[in-house]
Amino acid sequence: MVLTVAVLWDNWGDLLVPAKPSPVAAITATQSQIDQGRYLALAGNCMACHTTRGGTPLAGSRRIDTPFGGVYSSNLTPDPSTGLGRWNSQDFWHAMHRGRSADGRLLTPAFPYNHTSVVTRQDSDAIFAWLKSQPPVVQAQAAHTLVWPFGTQPALAVWRSLFFQPSPFQEDKARNAEWNRGAYLVQGLGHCAACHSPRNALGATGPVHDLSGGLMPVVNWYAPNLTQDAESGLASTPLPDIVRLLRTGASDTAQTNGPMGEVVQHSLQHLKEADLLAMAVYLQSRAQRATQPAPDAAKMARSNGQVSAQVATQGAKVYERQCLQCHGEQGEGMKTASGEVAYPALAGNRAVLLQDPTNLVQLVLYGGYGPATQGHPRPFGMPPAVLELHDHDIAAVLTHLRTQWGHQAGEVTTLQVNRIRAAQGN
């Protein structure tokens, strides 16, 4: 009874009071506002979720898989029957700030409204102005396929009471404008914590500033802890190199793959240099302030000296046959004639040394392909080995990488590889 009253009170304005049809006010947006809205939509990577593969941009109905079933994105074009044609800027602001549709429905948190609630009203209006300037497309949103009771309005109301509170951006007066701009982008439209924050059993992440890392459900990639230098390198990497990685997807010491590669390709590469630098400044400050953990004694104990002779021999053979030609005998990698990294060094590579080996297994199984960007238009790739290598081969070669060249990371087991392969349905 107490919980029911609390949920009703918490969602009174969003659940119990049906939204009345909003009059569509005349749009008098300036071209500069529309241009700013386009830029902000790129920063938020809106196109990625609201466009089906090969479909009309922003027309929605792309399936987003969750542990609780499928959610289909909405049509953001100004079509009056299936899109935003009957919405006004206030309706859009309610969706961004409260996670509530113009018809009063509570939206599923697959739309990261905890992060969009950070966005200012001015920026929300600019995004809406740009969306209203797009060609209308008739495409009704497909029905969600969430298992009961997930997706019902009462269940969403309970979830919101437990895990959602609008987080309008508050400047840190002790920081300069550049730092605050970076914080605004990372916490808001960038919604970095949507991936780089651990999720609980009900799919909720930490606060919008939580960058402590975690395994991304369904897609099964590990998003590194951005506050630990051992995982992200942000505290010790020069700012120009961080900016380069965000803009091109590659630097001398790192390369993006998987979901982060898609973010670089579809969003980050289009941002202004000043905004990328602001994000880098903010992220680096978070990593430098964080207390770095002590070395894991148990992990150290499972290092090179504890690997069986059979696994060590097998791993060395697979490396020589599959990896050495590109990554070098000592894991030194390979550069092009112009000095660009063609194949990254594996020796000292933070991705190799992550305690969670999920990303390494994914790369070996399904290949490594960096994003094609203006600053790095022809990235070298690594072919998939999903049909070529058995699980014990993959476990052995990854253990080889993690225990050679001074590395002291934990052994990768066949069971770990098997579980990751099974999670992807292969």
pLDDT at 3 over 50: no
pLDDT at residue 5 is higher than 50: no
Alpha-helix residue ranges (DSSP H) falling in 249-290: 258-266, 273-289
pLDDT band, residue 338 (cuts 50/70/90): confident
pTM: 0.90
Take residue 133 and report the two structure tokens written for it.
Answer: 């300037």
Per-residue confidence band for 298, with pLDDT thresholds at 50, 70 and 90: very low
Does pLDDT of 70 surpass 90? yes
**Average per-residue pLDDT for the chain:** 90
The pLDDT of residue 27:
58
> CB 310: neighbour CB atoms within 10 A?
10
Q: Which residue has the tokens 């309610």?
A: 94
Per-residue pLDDT tens digits for 115-165 = 999 999 999 999 999 999 999 999 999 999 999 999 999 999 999 999 999
221 token code pair? 């990639």
Sign of CA dihedral 27, 33, 39, 43: negative
Is the predicted pLDDT of residue 393 greater than 60, yes or no?
yes
Does the pLDDT at position 20 exceed 80?
no
Residue 295's pLDDT is what? 53
Residue 18 has pLDDT above 50, yes or no: no
pLDDT band, residue 292 (cuts 50/70/90): low
Q: How confident is the model at residue 14 (pLDDT cuts 50, 70, 90)?
A: low
Length of the chain: 426
Determine contact, residues 416/215, Cβ cutoff 8 Å: no
Say if residue 11's pLDDT is above 80: no
The pLDDT of 80-93, averaged and rounded, is: 97
Q: What is the pLDDT of residue 123?
A: 98
What is the model's pLDDT at position 426? 64
Which of 9-18, 70-79, 301-310 has the least mean pLDDT? Answer: 9-18
- Average pLDDT rounded to a whole number, residues 278-291: 91
Q: What is the pLDDT of residue 358?
A: 95
CA atoms within 13 A of residue 100's CA, in its CB half-sphere: 24
| Strand, coil or helix: 152 | coil
Give the Cβ contact number of residue 153 at 10 Å: 14
Tokens of 202: 């009900």
pLDDT at 301: 44
Whether residue 162 contacts residue 183, with contact meaning beta carbons closer than 8 Å, is answered with no
The CATH classification number of 297-423 equals: 1.10.760.10
pLDDT digits (tens, 9 = 90+) for 300-310: 444 445 788 99
For the chain, domain boundaries = 2-163, 177-289, 297-423
Q: How far apart are CA 57 and CA 77, in angstroms?
A: 9
Region of poorest pLDDT, from 5-19, 104-118, 229-243, 257-271: 5-19
Average pLDDT over residues 359-372: 94
Q: What is the pLDDT of residue 178?
A: 98
pLDDT at 252: 86
CA-closest candidate to residue 255, choices 321, 346, 325? 346
Q: Say what the pLDDT of residue 233 is.
A: 94
Q: What is the mean pLDDT of residues 77-84?
A: 97
**What integer pLDDT is reported at residue 40 of this predicted model?**
98
Checking if the pLDDT of 6 tops 60, the result is no
User: Which residue's structure tokens are 């006004």?
Assistant: 88
